Amino acid sequence: MDGNSLGAQVAAKWRKKRGSLIMALHEIQGVKGFVPWKDAMDLAVGMGIPLARIYEVLTFYNFFKLDAPGKAVISVCTGTACYLKGNDKVLEEFKKELGIGEGESTPDKMFHLQSVRCVGCCGLAPVCVVNGKTYGRLTPTDVRGILEEWRKKLSEDEEQN
Ligand code: FES
């Protein structure tokens, strides 16, 4: 097990709390936009819950997604610290640049945009996370550069495959 995976971190946080599986899965989906197989696996090991049980829960609730809703999932934090430092304006800029709303994906499925609660880096507020990479002390003018970076990265990944 990769001790640093999100699934493992979330498992460590929720392990001792009874009936917390759904909260743990919400937390993973909140950061990544879906529940990747590897995180579900690490969560199972870390929480001592059979993987089959986790998949039962994931497939029972329509809310949970098992596939990435976009190649790059942009999670803009709207927790208190980030909100107070103006992350609503950053979120608006992402919407404008991408031409989509919160919870939506671009037609080419390149980007998915969502707002999430505190991602645990309040010291860097305002923050967004793209596929696990954290960007801190954001201003709306950073948005274009972040999107450029990911467009480049995604097209390089496609060329390699
Ligand atoms: S409120 Fe945004 S990281 Fe905590």
The reply to whether 102 falls in a domain is yes
**Ligand 1, closest atom to CA 126?**
2
Same domain, 97 and 37: no
Give the CATH number of the domain where residue 124 resides. 3.40.30.10
Is residue 38 domain-shared with residue 84, that is, in the same domain?
no
Whether 25 and 104 map to the same domain: the answer is no
> Is 87 in the same domain as 126?
yes
CA of 129 to the centre of ligand 1 (A): 11
pLDDT score of 106: 94
Q: What is the pLDDT of residue 41?
A: 94
Q: From the CA of 31, how far away is ligand 1's center (Å)? A: 12
pLDDT at 130: 92
Q: Are residues 53 and 87 in the same domain?
A: no
Question: pLDDT per position in the chain (161 positions), as tens?
Answer: 445 788 898 888 888 777 789 999 988 887 787 899 999 999 999 999 999 999 999 999 988 988 888 899 999 999 999 999 999 999 999 999 999 999 899 999 999 999 988 888 999 999 999 988 999 999 999 999 999 999 999 999 888 76
Domain carrying residue 100: 72-160
**What one-character-per-residue DSSP string does the chain give?**
--TTSHHHHHHHHHTTSTT-HHHHHHHHHHHHSS--HHHHHHHHHHHT--HHHHHHHHHHSTT--SS-SSSEEEEEE-SHHHHHTTHHHHHHHHHHHHT--TTEE-TTSSEEEEEES--S-GGG-S-EEETTEEE-S--GGGHHHHHHHHHHHHHHHHHH-
Ligand 1 centre to CA of 120 (Å) is 6
Tell whether 66 is covered by a domain. no
Q: What is the pTM of this model?
A: 0.74
**Quick one: pLDDT at residue 132?**
81
Domain count, the chain: 2
